[in-house]
Chain A
Amino acid sequence: MRPQTRWLTLSACGAVLLCGGAVRVVAQEAHVDRLTGRAAAGKPLYTRYCAGCHGDEGDSRGENTQWIDPKPRDFTLATFKCRSTPSGTLPTDQDLYNSVTRGFVTTNMPPWVALTPHNRIDLVAYIKTFSARWSTAKPGTPIAIPPEPAPTVQGILHGRELFQRLECWKCHGAAGHGDGPSAKTLTDNKDDPIRPYDFQTGTRFMCGTTNQDLYRIFMTGLDGSPMPSFADQLQPAQAWDLVHFLRTLQPLKTPEATIWRAWFTTHGRELKPIGQEGGGQ
């Protein structure tokens, strides 16, 4: 090899290593608002708070994993349920930060809201070191959520029809109790059994509490679970109708539930049942 060629080759290798290193450095950090999280600071926090379930290597093989249902997230796969980004993409740092803060209802993952924001963003930075995907790909662009229209009976009825047509009931059940005919057969991306969300559970969804959160859930999907994204099948107005219908399945005094119950008392018999034989309208 001629000296000049060798020099160019070495330079190219150096550039590649440098870029790789830079990407790696980026992956060692996380940013939310003015906070910068650092993986080095997050590591001891991870050991303290997270490793018992998620494992020291982030592979969901902590000592408690065998007793936990559903199983904790495997960070080495870099697949996350709660995202603001399209299905199949990496979540933003804010998404991970929100997940750590909020926890996951009906699972063993508690809300870590008592930790300082600095501790939480350090944890996010460390979680991102478990998969090389964070070095090779960027987080997706958060989906746009259009303004929410006011709930109406017509919209809720349309949402109910969508619930039937998109076969949401197959997993979530006709009344949203998580007891549809497919519910017992569902598995996650690691072939572990997983249950669909039960809307009777209470005030919180898996990825938030607001109507916007609910909209985001079925427009991005819960990656790693059987819950797909409906972004290609629903227009925003339809998605809002579905949101308003889903709110009526909760045991809460929501505006949607108030509208729905008032209408249902007089028109309920006109409805076809939801399900295999039903028409949803």
Chain B
Amino acid sequence: MVKRFLKAAAPLATLVCAAMTPDRGSMPAKSYTAAYAALTSRIPAFARKYGLRCSACHTAWPELSAFGQRFKDNGYQLGNDRDSPIWQNNAYWPIAMRTTPQYRVENTTNQVTVASPGGKTITQAGFDLSGVDFLLLGTLYKDITFGLVPTLDADGTTGLEAAFVRFDNLGNSPWANLKVGKFELDNLLSEKRFTWLSSNGGFLYAYHYLPVGSANNFGFGDNQIGAEFSGHSINSYTRYSVALLTGDDGEPGLPGGKSVDAMFTASRAFAIGSGLGPQRVGVFGYLGHRPTVFDSSGGAPIPGTGSANKSFVRFGATAQLWVGNLEIIPLVSHASDDAALGPGADKPAWNTALLEAHYVATPRLLVQGRYEVMRMSKQGDPAIPSTQGNADAFALGVRAYPFMFSRDGMALHAEFAMTKTIGTAPLSGDGSGVDPATPTTVVWSRSLLLAFDFAF
């Protein structure tokens, strides 16, 4: 039935391409595990600070409502002249923690193993953990905001998801704000405030896909290091941001070159209808570079010395539309890389379209669905089959919040997600995590997740 659904939806796919067979080794797709997918933000510390229920800032947490978006745009300040920490009780500490104990089943077809080099279906199941996010965000002073998000993965590794300082309302204008550090790109459809947690549902192909043989490492959904200048109207209905970012995909230590990437977003919301939020439309674009040559010492590249940069672009449009309590989020995007970042002489290009819907029955019950289709429009090497890398992703979920107040949050989360990829491993990394035996082999990967998602 699911296959039938995907087949029926296939005409949504954009383009087709050239032909052929891969004679160059295709790189394993970048994996995004459930632990990564859980790195989203929802911050009870703010609720405690301001005495507002989660539902004030979140349509269904962690997704931001229009009010929450304005709060974030204003530097996590309500603007009531009580935002500076001096007004807080001395005992208040701006920290929240989130984790997601879960039971999950992952099922992936055509997986190459030692015992089955031709491929077999692998099913993985059991109780699991998502890791922990430590969400420290707030104000250092009025109109000076900070963010610090250390992470502890379930396997014990640590990370620094975000670390920034933001100067808000420069010149007393909401149109001028400067943020420096590591932060989430200003994506209207945020993966960090996702209501999807499963291995196959917790990321977007639009934000993470890289074609077969790509040497690029960029992901829209990855937090980046740089500086962002942004602004918004008083109600945040009009928003823009421009950012200059080191070309390291958020990796500290200057592993890339000296050039910087540039990102631009703009969106406008309209108070049309009586839905739960305004109708917002937006566009985004990213121009990036990746070095192809490094100075080296002892055979190892010297950080920050990359040169001979080659470019890549991403751009697209998205919207956030409300019909009563039904939220509809379409997104279309186009991506292409310089040939030097790919496996052959051509510039690979691909297109993505997705449609996500949330029915916010009450602040305590969310039903959601998403369908995403990604199609290669041009392979980097004519020898690569035109369909290799194509992907379809479908997800369905329910989140129920047993209580809703200003101290912490908890959701009972059920989700089923499924992807179909051709000639590549799913981005989830499920199964053996390597590409199938042939470039035309279809891989189905399914996730079933039952979780207790909570933050305190």
Interface residues of A (CB under 8 A from B): 41, 44, 47-49, 51-53, 63-64, 67-68, 103-119, 122, 201-202, 204
Q: Are A116 and B271 in contact (CB under 8 A)?
A: yes
- CB within 8 A of A41: which of B50, B55, B274, B363? B274
Task: Give 5 closest A-B pairs by Cβ, nearest first.
Answer: A64-B51, A114-B70, A110-B78, A52-B53, A116-B271
Q: Are A64 and B274 in contact (CB under 8 A)?
A: no
Interface residues of B in 35-79 (CB under 8 A from A): 50-53, 55-56, 65-67, 69-71, 78-79
Chosen A-B contacts, 5 in total, with CB atoms closer than 8 Å, are A67-B51, A115-B66, A116-B274, A116-B275, A118-B271
Residues of B within 8 A of A122 (CB): 274
Q: Are A106 and B82 in contact (CB under 8 A)?
A: yes
Q: Is B236 an interface residue (CB 8 A)?
A: yes
Bound complex: CA A41 to CA B324 (Å): 10
Q: Are A113 and B235 in contact (CB under 8 A)?
A: yes
Residues of B within 8 A of A41 (CB): 274
Residues of B within 8 A of A52 (CB): 51-53, 56, 405-406
Q: Are B50 and A110 in contact (CB under 8 A)?
A: yes
Query: A112-B67, A116-B271, A119-B274 are known contacts; what are 17 more A-B pairs with Cβ within 8 Å?
Result: A41-B274, A47-B55, A51-B53, A52-B51, A52-B53, A63-B405, A103-B79, A105-B81, A106-B82, A110-B52, A110-B67, A110-B80, A113-B235, A115-B67, A116-B273, A116-B274, A204-B81
Nearest-CB distance from B45 to chain A (Å)?
14
Number of interface residues of B (CB under 8 A): 32
Q: Are B81 and A118 in contact (CB under 8 A)?
A: no
Residues of A within 8 A of B433 (CB): none
Report the nearest A residue to B274, measured CB to CB: A118
Residues of B within 8 A of A63 (CB): 405-406
Q: Are B80 and A44 in contact (CB under 8 A)?
A: no
Tell which of A48, A64, A119, A202 has the most Cβ of chain B within 10 Å: A48
- Inter-chain contact count A-B, CB under 8 Å? 89
Q: Are A49 and B56 in contact (CB under 8 A)?
A: yes
Residues of B within 8 A of A114 (CB): 65-67, 69-70, 235-237
A44-B362, A105-B81 known; A113+B70 contact, CB < 8 A: yes
Bound complex: CA A68 to CA B235 (Å): 25
Report the nearest B residue to A112, measured CB to CB: B67
Nearest-CB distance from B24 to chain A (Å)?
51
Residues of B within 8 A of A53 (CB): 51-52
Bound complex: CA A223 to CA B197 (Å): 49
- CB within 8 A of A48: which of B56, B69, B70, B274? B56
Residues of A within 8 A of B235 (CB): 113-114
Q: Are B55 and A49 in contact (CB under 8 A)?
A: yes
Q: Are A48 and B55 in contact (CB under 8 A)?
A: yes
Q: Are B50 and A117 in contact (CB under 8 A)?
A: no
Nearest-CB distance from B329 to chain A (Å)?
17
Would you give the 0/1 interface string for B373-413, flagging 1 where the beta carbon is closer than 8 Å to chain A? 00000000000000000000000000000000110000000
Bound complex: CA A106 to CA B81 (Å): 5
Would you give the 0/1 interface string for B243-274, flagging 1 where the beta carbon is closer than 8 Å to chain A? 00000000000000000000000000001011
Tell which of B51, B52, B78, B82 has the most Cβ of chain A within 10 Å: B51
Q: Are A113 and B234 in contact (CB under 8 A)?
A: yes
Residues of B within 8 A of A104 (CB): 80
Nearest-CB distance from A209 to chain B (Å)?
12
Residues of B within 8 A of A109 (CB): 80
Q: Is B277 an interface residue (CB 8 A)?
A: yes
Nearest-CB distance from B236 to chain A (Å)?
6
Q: Are B69 and A111 in contact (CB under 8 A)?
A: no
Q: Are B78 and A202 in contact (CB under 8 A)?
A: no
Nearest-CB distance from B231 to chain A (Å)?
15
